[in-house]
Amino acid sequence: MTRSVLYTMSPLLASKTPVWRSKFIVAVIALGFIGLGVRAAYVQVFGNDFFQRQGEVRFARTLELPANRGKILDRNGLILASSVPAASIWAIPEDVEQDKPEVRAKLKELARLMDMPLAALNAKLADEDKTFVWIKRQLDWDVGQQIVALGVKGIYLRKEYKRQYPEGEAAAHVVGFTNVEDKGQEGMELAFNDLLAGKSGSRRVIKDRLGRVVEGVGEVIPPVDGRDMQLSIDSKVQFFAYQKLRDQVQAHKAKGGSVVVLDAITGEVLALANYPSYVPDKRQNLTGEQLRNRAITDTFEPGSTMKPFTIGLALESGRVRPGTMVDTTPGRLTITGSTISDTHNYGVLTVEGVIQKSSNVGTTKLAMQMPAREMWETFSAAGFGQKPQIGFPGAVGGRLRPYKTWRPIEQATMSYGYGLSASLFQMARSYTVFAHNGQIIPATMLKSSEPAVGVPVFSPQTADAVRKMLQMAAGPGGTGQKAQTLGYSVGGKSGTARKQVGKSYSSGKYRAWFTGMAPIDKPRIIVAVMVDEPSNGVYYGGAVAAPVFSEVVQQTLRMMGAQPDMAVKPQIVANAAEEPL
């Protein structure tokens, strides 16, 4: 017999439940559904962009499609810098199973292939919380393929590009170099980085956690490769100039040196070399002495190489003629308590003889006949005190103070190259005044086939007269006899300047210069040479710098196909005259 249950007999069930409680529960449930609906609407409609981006951050990636960097070529089309494929190795540390013996053996081989200590590799893989770490970048592509062949889980390869520099240290200061991101850091690589780099492309993809592409999404934007650029540099002239400079610096135990070769017609830079130098794609333990482009960044007092400008002004103004006599007796001259001296008492000299013998006294006597303003205007017109406009990083303008501040002794010393400063590049360009019919022409690092348009500084007659004096200075009885070259007539001026240390001049530190041109009647090239602190007992510009000038001129003119204008090499007197300091 079934017994029926009367729920009303239970005090709990029999209790009367308030109506508001059930309504409250229903309301809470309804509000919950409304909240979920609002949240769904926000996620799917109003905030869709934000959540879409968050999803893409976790799964979608924008792959950069690198542009191939443009080549740097010399004037003959030979490669100075180019890009080649390189392998960059990266890892997901948590995926590298370092506890397995076979993996440890592969890691040892991996470290050997990358030429890095095993401890350094283990240190990079030590943080297992990282999902990405660079192991080593820009390895040779063949090495990268050997690494991939090891099959180490968690070790991956990325294709990049790295630069190669076939001319090595000879052209390092011209070409410069790039960093691991393929961005220019020095030289023409830096100056024309935007032109060479091009524009990277991109590709949107979805990747898994191992970095593998699962699906491509969106439009592929192709890269725009960088443009090739052709320099004015002749790689053969550059190498020869560097080689001769290096040999001379080492032979004289000098601190360093530079050489600049300009085309006297177009203003093109055919060579710009410095020593010490460096190998652009092997820059380990690189020092500032190696990296510094001395020819354009270092300024110093040019010494006697300034005398042709002072003499040129005296001729241009009509105050003297080449045959005018100048009395330099007794080889000394006192101005406001300071004494200017020659190395010898040359007695009475012609104006031509003042340049030939490099007389400080004779140059000073001519300079003191002229207003300071005229000297300043001539020096400024020749480019002194102004930054060279060659688009090259680090170029400096030197120092030329306003003429209103010159004292008489300062005007005197500036006439023969003390009290102002210039770079070797400025000196080379300034001599285009004498090589280009009295006009100074712009210099360029880019190839040009058109004759340069110059700005007049002197008349053609004055330029011709000074060239003949420069030929005498490089000939018998002059201070630059060792500049003479087999088959070609030359003219130029040596200079020897004491280095300034603090507020005084050092008694044992010198810079030796020689700046000149060839052939003398119709100059094709201008060559400037500087040797810093020769310390092997000889320090005069005519003895240290002039021989480099001679060899560079001869080789360059031959490479240019210039016809010799002399049958034999003029005789060089054993004891050449020495220019005064």
Residues with catalytic annotation? 304
Report the C-alpha gap between 433 and 313 in whole angstroms.
12
Residue 372 neighbours by CB distance under 10 Å: 19
Please tell me the distance from the alpha carbon of residue 390 to that of residue 231, in angstroms, as a whole number: 12
The residue ranges of DSSP E strands in 452-541, in sequence order, are 455-456, 491-501, 504-518, 525-532
139-143 long-range contacts (CB < 8 A, ≥24 apart) are 139/86, 139/87, 139/88, 139/89, 139/113, 139/114, 140/86, 140/87, 141/84, 141/85, 141/86, 141/87, 143/87, 143/113, 143/114
Q: Which of 436, 420, 76 is nearest to 428 (CA)?
A: 436
Q: Are 409 and 336 in contact (CB under 8 A)?
A: yes
- From residue 85, give the alpha-carbon distance in Å to each of 143, 172, 404, 408, 414: 11, 21, 59, 63, 54
Return the structure tokens found at 507. Answer: 């008694």
Closest of 310, 408, 305 to residue 351, by C-alpha: 310
280, two tokens: 């652009």
DSSP state of 547: H
b/e code 502-517 from CB counts within 10 Å (16+ = b): eeeeeeebbbbbbbbb
**Are β-strands 155-164 and 133-140 bridged in parallel, bridged antiparallel, or unpaired?**
unpaired
Q: Which of 303, 240, 241, 231 is CA-nearest to residue 266? A: 231
Instruction: For residues 347 and 575, give the distance between their C-alpha atoms in angstroms, rounded to a whole number.
Output: 19
Give SS3 for 2. Answer: coil
3-state DSSP call for residue 131?
coil
Closest CA to 470 of 483, 460, 457, 459: 483
Beta strands in 168-279 (DSSP E): 177-178, 184-186, 201-207, 213-221, 229-230, 256-263, 269-275
Record the tokens describing residue 308, joined without a space.
Answer: 């042709």
CA distances for 465 relative to 135, 316, 446, angstroms: 66, 10, 32
- Residue 60's DSSP bridge partners are 206
Question: Would you call the peptide bond into 519 cis, given omega within 30 degrees of 0 as the criterion?
Answer: yes
